[in-house]
Each structure stands twice: as structure tokens, then as C-alpha cells.
Chain A
Amino acid sequence: MKRLRVVLSLVLAFVLTLSLLSGCTSKTKQQSSQPNSTGQASKNKNFKVGLVTDVGGINDHSFNQLAYQGIEKAKNELGVTVNFIQSKQQTDYVTNLTQFAQQKYNLVIAVGYLMKDAVEQVSKEFPDTKFLIIDSDITDRPNVASATFKTEQCGYLVGVMAGLMEKEKNAKLNDQNVVGVIGGMQIPPVDSYIAGFQQGVKAVNPDTKVLVSYTGNFNDPASGKQMALTQISQGADIVFGVAGQAGDGVINAAKEKNIYAIGVDADQNYMAPDTVMTSALKKVDTATFDTIKSVLDNNFKSGLVYFDLANDGVGYAKPIKDVPQSIVDKVDEYAKQIKDGTIKVSDQVQK
């Protein structure tokens, strides 16, 4: 027993020594991660932005990740100090938001509608701290902005692109004139994409059949794949997945069956470069960056803040080469009409 104790204490001493040594190195590393000190940047260094992810974490290929990209961009371009906490469970939200507010962060960003209760609670306790919540609808707090995305608009644009592609001929397209869309759960943030997509397709190609189905979850790629394969067997040659990680399965199925897929939220082309022809973008990164800038410029607006085509809050990703320039031009034309109000896109799914 004595011997064991000796060994343990030796190991402990060894670890302590090493950690003292590494203490020096890691300090320098932290400094190097600070932004390049331009004049303006050093001024903004005392401006602190905290990001609290929901349980998805910053590698979710979706809005948490985009929000993170937004604050990174702000760090690099505006020189503000940023930090983030990944929540592990729902009860962490209040704690994590409070943590930032207590440490006098100027702006605290909460990602996702699940944090609504937590933001309402914490923002009341810390009236001097500004909060931004993504995808929610808090309107009665002077220090809270709720970012809402008009995703029916970008859904419309990728719908237009899909409808036009159905008239094209290439190896990946059949002549059955069918496209499909796979939703996660039947909730408004998903349905707005689907509604826009349906209208976009019909606008350019009224004969195209649009299949709609739901996986019932956001986290099971296998179910997304199964749904996609079913639609493909019914003739779909372009599939649009609006289903979080379940959507990964949709792209997978398209790749396997050699047809086209459309990504969602972020540019998902990297997942299958020849398959994902474009993505409907919900630019959470833009929203976070813009909000940071607005607070910095004393221009913060509380309540609902809409992000749409007009302020570049939604959009579509640069299409791959298979999509002819003529179609891209056409899509841009529709974009312009949405921006100037000529076309109004509904967010209600047609049954």
C-alpha cells in the first residue's frame, strides 16, 4: 500500500510540473488567438459577446455552427472579444446565460427556440445586458432581439431552380417531372421552407409533382434516407431535405441513387459535391454578425427582427456547374421580384 502511495504521488508531482510548464505556453497561445490589433479593433476589445448553443453543440452543421461562424467573423473583422458555451442539457440554458450576464458580457446570443424561457427569465434579471435569440418571438423585452428568418423566400428560390431543372436533360434527371421534399417535424420553421419550395416549383413548372413527407425527427439520418429512397422510387430526381441531421440521410440517398439533392440552412455542398446542387440558406451567421454590429453602433433593435432576402438574411448557395447559367439568371430574377414585393411568398404548406 505504501508503495502505491509513493507511485501515485510521483505521478502527481510529474503532472504538476508539466502543467506549470505548459501553463506558460498556453497563455501565449491564448494571446495569439486575440484579434489583430488594428486601431478600431483594440477599441472594441472590451466589447464582449457570449454565445450559448443549444444541446446540438457547435458542430451541428446547422444553426449553432452558423451562429458560431458569425461570432468568429465579428472577432476577426470587428475585433470584439467572443466566447461560447455548449449546453449539455436543457437545464444548462439558464445557468449558462446567467454566467455570461454576470461576467458583464455586452451581448449574449442564445441559439434556438428551446431557449425562449431561459432568455425571458435571465433578461429580466440583467436589464443592462443585450440578448439575441435565434428563431424565436420574444417581443416584450427592451433588451432582447428575436431573429426570425423568412425561409419561405429561400425555399421559393430553390423551388424555382428545381422546377426549371426538371425541364433540363442530363444523366441524373429522368423525364417523370417529380421532385420531393422531406421535412423533419411538421412545425412552422420547417413548413415555411416547404411552402416556399412548393410555390417556387409551381411558378416555373406547373406540371411538376411535388412530393412532401416528414421523418418525424431531426436526428435520425436513417429515417431521412428511407423517406428519400421512397420518393426516388416514385420518380423524384431532386430531393430537398429540411430535417436537420435526418437530412444528411436525404443527401446520402440522392448520392447513392445518382440524383440531385438540395441542402438546407448552411451550404451543404461539401457533403456530396456532385449531388448537392444548391442549398437554401438561413444565414444565422449574418444575423449574429449584424446584431453584434448594431449593438456596437448603439443601433440595437429589440423585438422581432426579420431576416429575409432584402437584408441578405436568407438566400441560396452558389449552384454547381450542372445548373446552367440561364437558370441561375432566372432564379435571380425571381429573387429581385420577391425583394421588391412583386411576389409575395406564403409560409403555409399546400396540402
Chain B
Amino acid sequence: MNKILKSIYMPILAVIIAIIIGSIIMLVTGFNPLAAYASLFIGAFGTLPNIANTLANAVPLIITGLGVAIAFNAGLFNIGAEGQYWIGAIVATWIGYSFKGLPWYIHIPFALIGAMVAAGLWGGIVPGFAKAYTGAHEVITTMMMSYVAIYFSHYLLEFGPMMEKGSVPQSPLIKDSAIIPTILRNTQLSYGIFIAIAAALFVYWLMYKTVWGYEMRAVGFNQRASKYAGMNVPLNIVLSLSLSGIFAGLAGAVQILGVQHRLYDSFTSGYGYTAIVVALLAKNNPIGVVFSALLFAALGTGSQYMQLNAQVPGQLADVITGLIIFFVAADKIIEVLKSMFKKQKKEELAS
């Protein structure tokens, strides 16, 4: 228990400091922070539909965040989760609209698994093998693969093979049999949330209870010692990048089947990048990912509501989000501040 408290203590402190600084900024720019935070909170958790929308927004962040966390645990920086998300979304969409007459219990798993396999190959094969056997840095390769995926989606949707008839660059709607149903009317919350939570539990189990997770973490912490212990280091690199891609792809698929129901032409979903911060905030703990994704989702939905009801511009919510990221990433700064206080106290005692 104490251990858990200790591990969430720093992130919470980071959030509190960000809120305080955000308040100061709002005061300076002439907004009422109390009203703003109140509406931020109501927007995120105030009503049942708002809670549902917060949960809905958390779904892609949880699953993509898990993917990034797996790679982090293996000592790899998968910055290309965005591209793997796109690959998953593309494949899920294609399976979703191309196959007619399948029952839902085949169509949905088919789309999800197809997306996972494609994204796993996307993340694992090229960047994984490049890293494992030539040492090419995964930050570069995953990012480049990400661009390829995104531009590939542009090609598909802008008068390409996946464009719906008409003038709008978007895919056809997926068939009803591929739609993951909504839990609460008038919200975006689908049963995908259960997939997300199951995924988190699965990843936790995988990383901390299985031989495979043991190996991936060992390779992540110390490649040399892992090699000396007889582990196949390159294989583990490929596998962990693939697994990372599989989850990013699952996120894209769940989002398509549960929320969007078709693929739109846009430059970025943003989930792949936010997921990096989500994983960092969670210190790569799969269960922590659920909570940090919820925090970011709450900031997202809450900030829309804040615009509407406290007339605070959405950008200010971005500022607060940014501050949280800053303080989390820089929790060393907080540690330094803490030790400064401590030192001062000690010197007072000494003199």
C-alpha cells in the first residue's frame, strides 16, 4: 500500500503544481480559476454523459499508452505509435466495410485482430529488425514509418481506393455488424472501454507475471546482462516493438469500430503522441496507464466544457495540460526542490 502511495505521490504533486500555476495564469489573463476549474471538473465528471465521454476519450489513450509503455519497459522508445494507430484504423475500417453478412461476433474480432496483426508487423518488422540487427535507432525508424502510414492514409482517402463515392475524403461507413455498440445513448462511450481495461490487465499480467515479460523487462534494463543470462536480445527487441505496435493498432481499431465508424482524412489523431506522455506519467505501469489516460481524457472533455460555460479559451486547458506534462517529465525538478527544502531545514537545525 505504502509503495503504491509512493509511486503516485509525484504525479499527483505535479498535477497540483500545474493547477496552481494554471490558476495564476488565469488570474493574470483575467479569468476566474475557481469557475474555470469547477466547469473543467463538471465537464469531465459532472454528469453521467460527461463521465461517459471522458471514459470514451480515455479508451484510445489507454490502449495506445499500453503500447508505448510496453516498448518503454523493454527500453525502447516507440515514438511511432501514431503511425501504428493509423495502420490499425485503416485495416479495421477496410475489414469493417468490405465484408458483408458476417455476424458481429466474427466481424468485430476479425477487424480487431486484422488491425493488430498489421500494426504489429508495421511496428515490429521494419523498426524492430532494423534496431535488432543494424542498430538503427527506433526513434528515427518508428517516426519515419509513422509518416509513411499517415501519408498512405491520405493516398487511400483522397481519391484513392478507400474513398467513399462523392466529394468528401473519407472512407465508407463500416457495416453494422462491425460496430462496437454504444453503452450510453448520446455519448461516445462504447463497449470498447472494456477492451481497454482488459488490455491493461492483460499487459500487466504479461509484463510482470510471464516469462516473456520478464525477458522483455530484463532486456530493457540491461541488454548486456540479459545476453550474459542467455537471452536472445535481438529477438526480444523485435517482439517488444511488435507488441507495442499491436496495441497501438488495437487502439485505432477500437476507435473506428466504437466511435468513428469510418476513417477520416486528417493529418494526425494525436493519440500516438499523447500516449507517450500517458505512459511517462504512469511510469510505464500498465495499471497506471489507465489512470493517467483518464486524467488526460478528463482534461480534454473538461476543457471543451470549460470553453462553453466559463468562457475560458480551450488553449488555456492546453496550457494546463502542458504544465502537467512538464512537471511530470521534470519530476526530478520537484525532487530537487524538495531536497532544497530539506537541506534548508537541516541547516536551520544545525546552526
Contact = CB atoms under 8 A, between A and B. Distances in A.
Interface of A: 1, 3-4, 7-8, 11-12, 15-16, 18-20, 22-23, 25-26, 29-30, 55, 83-92, 94-96, 98-100, 102, 113-114, 116-117, 122, 125, 185-189, 216, 219
B311 A98 contact: no
A3 B341 contact: yes
B169 A187 contact: yes
Main secondary structure of the interface of B (DSSP, over half): helix
A29 B35 CA distance: 14
A186 B300 contact: no
A90 B341 contact: no
A86 B188 CA distance: 18
Contacts of A11: 20
Given A95-B301, A189-B167, A19 B27 contact: yes
A143 B307 CA distance: 26
Contacts of A85: 304, 307-308, 314
B131 interface: no
A22 B30 contact: yes
Contact of B57 (A91, A100, A117, A186): A91
Contact of A18 (B27, B169, B170, B270): B27
Interface string B238-274: 0000000000000000010001111010110110000
Nearest to A219: B267
19 contacts: A4-B337, A4-B341, A19-B33, A19-B35, A22-B32, A26-B30, A55-B266, A88-B270, A95-B187, A98-B186, A99-B304, A99-B305, A113-B167, A114-B264, A117-B173, A122-B186, A185-B158, A216-B158, A219-B267
Nearest to A114: B264
Contacts of A1: 338, 341-342
B168 A83 contact: no
Interface string B134-163: 000000000000000000001000110000
A90 B89 CA distance: 14
A308 B2 CA distance: 69
Contact of B167 (A22, A26, A187): A187
B264 to A, nearest CB: 6
A216 B137 CA distance: 30
Nearest to A18: B27
A125 B186 contact: yes
Interface residues of B, number: 53
Interface in B16-57: 16, 20, 23-24, 26-27, 30-35, 49, 53, 56-57
Main secondary structure of the interface of A (DSSP, over half): helix
B345 interface: yes
A88 B33 contact: no
A85 B35 CA distance: 17
B30 A29 contact: yes
A289 B32 CA distance: 31
Contacts of B341: 1, 3-4, 7
Contacts of A19: 23, 26-27, 32-35
A15 B30 contact: no
The 4 closest A-B pairs by CB, nearest first: A188-B167, A19-B34, A15-B23, A19-B33
Given A84-B307, A88-B304, A189-B167, 19 more contacts: A3-B344, A4-B337, A4-B341, A11-B20, A19-B35, A22-B31, A22-B33, A26-B30, A85-B308, A90-B266, A91-B255, A91-B260, A92-B300, A98-B187, A100-B308, A102-B186, A186-B158, A187-B158, A187-B159
A98 B167 CA distance: 26
Nearest to A15: B23
B192 to A, nearest CB: 12
A116 B168 CA distance: 10
Contacts of B270: 88-89
B31 A26 contact: yes
A86 to B, nearest CB: 5
Interface in B164-195: 167-170, 173, 185-188
Contacts of B34: 16, 19-20, 23
Contacts of A12: 20
A122 B187 CA distance: 10
A58 B224 CA distance: 54
A88 B169 contact: no
A158 to B, nearest CB: 22
Nearest to A95: B53
Contacts of A83: 308
A99 B305 CA distance: 8
B24 A15 contact: yes
Given A30-B311, A98-B186, A219-B267, A92 B304 contact: yes
B33 A15 contact: yes
Nearest to B271: A89
B317 to A, nearest CB: 9
Contacts of B267: 219
A84 B313 CA distance: 10
Given A19-B27, A88-B304, A95 B188 contact: yes
A89 to B, nearest CB: 6
Given A186-B158, A187-B158, A94 B269 contact: no
Interface centre among A8, A30, A89 (most CB of B within 10 A): A89
Interface in B279-307: 300-301, 303-305, 307
